[in-house]
């Protein structure tokens, strides 16, 4: 962990020293999450995200974020005898490295990096808990990655990202959460 933090600090210092451009803003959006599982069929669930971001640098930039999100998945057995959902409220902390192309008022970006997710609350259908006693053994935090593209038009910023789970949120059923997120933000600084 110390190596990761040291590497991030060095990268941040390099971005700032190359070009002292810093922007801070708010963002919000929608996500479409799905929890893949070994034993049940799953489908996509629509959620939300809202939070803050900072961007250090210009052509090459580092973008840490902090936001709350609502995610989850809907499940059903192959014979449809059991169905239900799992929903989570999360605190997400991505650290993205990106590259931007374009002018000051019209800028296109690509980005990727790790994301740490901490579960603040969870809700699981009683029918799933009754049918599968170990189905709800969800971890309190996971690691994943995000990759995507974005555009800045003046102070408005928009991103489309894919988030993949690197760790299983429930080892008993091989569950991993993946999602697509579309967000719009506004640069305050």
Please check the confidence at residue 95 and state whether its pLDDT lies above 60: yes
Q: Which domains does the chain have, with CATH numbers?
A: 2-187 (2.40.160.20)
Nearest to 99 by CA among 74, 65, 134, 63: 63
Whole-number percent of the chain with pLDDT over 90:
58
Structure tokens at 33: 């999450």
4: its two tokens: 């990761």
The pLDDT value recorded for residue 7 is 61
* pLDDT tens digits for range 145-154: 999 999 999 9
Number of CB atoms found within 10 A of residue 30's CB: 14
Residue 160: Cβ within 10 Å count? 13
The pLDDT tens digits of the residues spanning 60-84 come to: 999 999 999 999 988 888 787 788 8
Angstrom distance (rounded) from CA 19 to CA 11 = 12
pTM score: 0.85
Q: By three-state DSSP, how is residue 178 classified?
A: strand
- Look up residue 129 and give its two tokens: 């808990």
Q: Please name which of 120, 87, 88, 113 lies closest in space to residue 99, comparing C-alpha atoms.
A: 113
Residue 112 has pLDDT above 90, yes or no: yes
> Are the CB atoms for 163 and 181 separated by under 8 Å?
yes
């Amino acid at each position: 962990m110390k190596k990761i933090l040291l590497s991030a600090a060095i990268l941040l210092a390099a971005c700032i020293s190359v070009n002292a451009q810093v922007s801070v803003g708010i963002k919000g959006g929608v996500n479409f999450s799905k929890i893949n599982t070994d034993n049940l069929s799953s489908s996509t669930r629509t959620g939300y995200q809202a939070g803050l971001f900072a961007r250090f640098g210009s052509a090459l930039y580092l973008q840490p974020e902090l936001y709350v999100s609502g995610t989850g998945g809907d499940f059903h057995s192959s014979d449809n005898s059991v169905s239900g959902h799992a929903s989570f409220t999360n605190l997400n902390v991505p650290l993205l490295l990106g590259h931007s192309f374009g002018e000051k008022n019209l800028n296109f970006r690509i980005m990727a990096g790790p994301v740490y997710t901490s579960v603040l609350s969870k809700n699981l259908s009683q029918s799933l808990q009754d049918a599968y006693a170990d189905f709800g053994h969800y971890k309190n935090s996971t690691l994943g990655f995000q990759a995507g593209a974005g555009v800045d038009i003046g102070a408005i910023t928009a991103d489309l990202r894919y988030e993949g789970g690197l760790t299983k949120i429930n080892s008993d059923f091989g569950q991993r959460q993946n999602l697509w997120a579309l967000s719009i933000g506004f640069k305050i600084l």
